[in-house]
Amino acid sequence: MEIQVDKKDIRQLSEEDLKHTLTGMGEPGFRAKQISEWLWKKGARSFEEMTNLSKGLREKLDTHFVIPSIESDKVQRSDDGTIKTRFRLADGNLIESVLIPVPADKRFTVCVSTQVGCSLSCKFCATGQLKRMRNLDATEIFDQFVAVNEQSLETFDHPLTNIVYMGMGEPLLNYQQTLRSVELISNPKGFNFSPRRITVSTAGIAKMIKKLADDKVRFNLALSLHAADDEKRNEIMPINEQNNLKALMESLSYFYQNTRNRISFEYIAFQNFNDSLEDAAKLFALCRDFPVRVNIIEYNPIDGLPFLKSAEHKIDEFARFLNDRGVMVTVRRSRGKDIDAACGQLANKE
């Protein structure tokens, strides 16, 4: 009778744990470093890839361990060069990641997801209409980075330069795994990606923003603001009812004082809702307590939702109002909207 061995995820072991396991299997401990390099520096997805290990060791590892990995399920390419990939997880759930290339600036950004679905129900967002199924493991976030980095190298002959945690889900509701994934991606023994080129975006959870400060994170922080007064923000973002603007600004001030990391406001412009000069004045008032960059984003209309894109001249007037008062402003034109890859459009559509 064949005895079934429950295989463990090898990436859940620290290098020290791996060394101890290997010696218990009669293998030299130094192999742990080699295996770790395959896992975290080369992004290996199978033991067979680990060619500097003996065939016998690879077979032992395959007997006792697995390397669960995400698989590309569907790839869509936009006319503007943006690439959206839908990934199938080991349990069959689906998530999406987006590669946003700007070759002229040598800037290649991946937008990664942190949850399957989302629980925040923002009224303008396709992902917010989905049910939250579960949080992603740090390795599943790491795997998105590895896969899209390979995609960038193959397509543009250039590695990723930036990472934004702005895909499906709310990163701060998956706090530990989000921070662990940043550690994995930025580990000097692995990809050694600079945390200064990583931005984590949040819809606004004040106590968790303060926790980021207390944990002395080194990455940048973006607040998905989208309205500069509580009444309007409550209308489109239910999370604001428990995390009002006063609490959020206090938490962001605390974050900046303790980390000196860059903060940005993401502000989608909706026609006749938040795009007036009065709205711009309210937004300016929120930019006085700490250095902040404002990214004004074109809205991408979503079937079944009532919001419309603000006119370009109104967006430009809005941006000019802020810029004339010394606020750093960038207007982000939509990328990948023809493949539902733009801001707020990730919804695992067929």
Provide the annotated active-site residues: 96, 343
3-state secondary structure the chain: CCCCCCCEEHHHCCHHHHHHHHHHCCCCCCHHHHHHHHHHCCCCCCHHHCCCCCHHHHHHHHHHEECCCCEEEEEEECCCCCEEEEEECCCCCEEEEEEEEEHHHCEEEEECCCEECCCCCCCCCCHHHCCCCEECCHHHHHHHHHHHHHHHHHHHCCCCCEEEECCCCCHHHHHHHHHHHHHHHHCCCCCCCCHHHEEEEECCCHHHHHHHHHCCCCCEEEEECCCCCHHHHHHHCHHHHCCCHHHHHHHHHHHHHHHCCCEEEEEEEECCCCCCHHHHHHHHHCCCCCCCEEEEEECCCCCCCCCCECCHHHHHHHHHHHHCCCCEEEEECCCCHHHCCCCCCCCCCC
Gyration radius from the chain CA atoms: 22
Surface-to-core class of residue 290, CB atoms within 10 Å of its CB (0-12 exposed, 13-18 middle, 19+ buried): middle
Neighbours of 134 (CB within 10 A): 13
Rounded to whole angstroms, the Cα distance separating 122 from 275 reads: 18
Residues 6+ apart with CB under 8 A from 53: 31, 34, 35, 47, 61
